[in-house]
Structure 1
Amino acid sequence: MSGEGPRYTVEELAAKVGMSPRNIRAHQTRSLLGPPIRRGRTAYYDDSHVRRLEAIKALQRQGYNLVAIEAILGVRAPEPVGEALQHLLQRLDREQPGLVHALARHGVLVRGDDGSVQMLRVRLMRSALGLNRAGVHAVPSLQVLSEVLDRLRLIAEDLVRSTSQRLVSATPSLRAGPTGTWDELDVRADALAISMIGLLTEAFRVALENFGTTAMPDLIAECAGGGQLYLTGSATIDNG
């Protein structure tokens, strides 16, 4: 931090950028925001932190989630992919730029410094492209993935909020409010968030497995009978 220019405590920084101190500390934990400089027991931020937080907020307003923002700002490195997937990304970029942008907003893809499209969520992309085994081409698969992520985003927000409230109300030590330092509270909140995400992920997997495997044959027959079944479509891009 430069010795010149204004300095801000975390509360002053939060007021200046319109963000809670908790969110500022969370961005530090994710390495989206650089650490402050401590003077005694007080941590100070400067205008470089203000600019960084404003950039994060601007990207969030454009619909990017934190995973995508991490990649855009150089915090998260894209996962390596094989030659076939890289070739597919190049073709998607040329022929389906809108789809690439939609998936980038969810942190599935990101555009690198050289302008190329890269994957952040290789396992998710492989799952979508795995629909090829049922005759579904790449573009319809990825369009469905984008639509599912749009729908799940709202569901996830509701589930996280309601589940968090339920967990806090059932845990007296959490319900009592902060009793230690902010760092201790952040560690505890992060541990709770990770555990809750694991719970919701596995619960959703079980719910899908319980319903999907038994219902899919009837759903396919119903759609096919109504002339609504489009497995292969006329996409110009396939998995090959």
Structure 2
Amino acid sequence: MDYTIDELARAADTTVRSVRVYHERGLLPSPDVRGRIGYYGHNHLDRLQTISRLLSRGMKLNGIRELLDAWDRGDGLAEVLGVTDQPVSEAVEDPIPQEYSPDLPDYLKKALAASDDPLEGYRLVNPRCCDLATRLVDAGLPVSAVVELVERLRHDCERLADRYAEAVLSPLAGQPYAASERAPKDRTVFDTNVAIARLMTTRAVAELIDQALARREGLPPTAA
């Protein structure tokens, strides 16, 4: 779905002025300009909502830009948090730290200033990873081991995406768009096809992982 700047601001519950400021400060990518009108997509909306969450936690725009730049580069949260790269098997033997105070970058310290939770970084950029990490800590794993485990999971998922993105997205979205007149309506169809391809792929992957985990633990798989 395409948004004008007014529509994007309303969808993100912010102002047009804020959207323009984020552009100027390098937090938001430029829109797709067609004619004299700039059009924004779901990625812009997701980025705006992330910025709003970070601002609500007291983080400044410069810090948010550094955090988002690190995330866009693919830097793992372990690197962002400054957690040492140690095997999970060794880290699990460590006692659960009563206070976890890694040497954090200044911009992340600002993001965490309102909380003593070392997993707050996940909560900011990936709430579902935070849910998993929190449950693992509650189960008795040290924070260092949990961060390492979740980061390995993220890395494996990125490798899967790199391996299959072209094979899935090209026939379902890229090739039809390349064969079209590439008019605005064709771009709308392309965006829709990409969204459908992503949804179908993520659902298929989730089902495969669920079945694989069930086989290893002797648990019944959940309904699709």
Pairwise TM-score range, normalised by the shorter structure: 0.3 to 0.5
Q: TM-score, normalised by structure 2?
A: 0.46
Whose radius of gyration is greater, 1 or 2? Answer: 1
TM-score, normalised via structure 1 length: 0.44
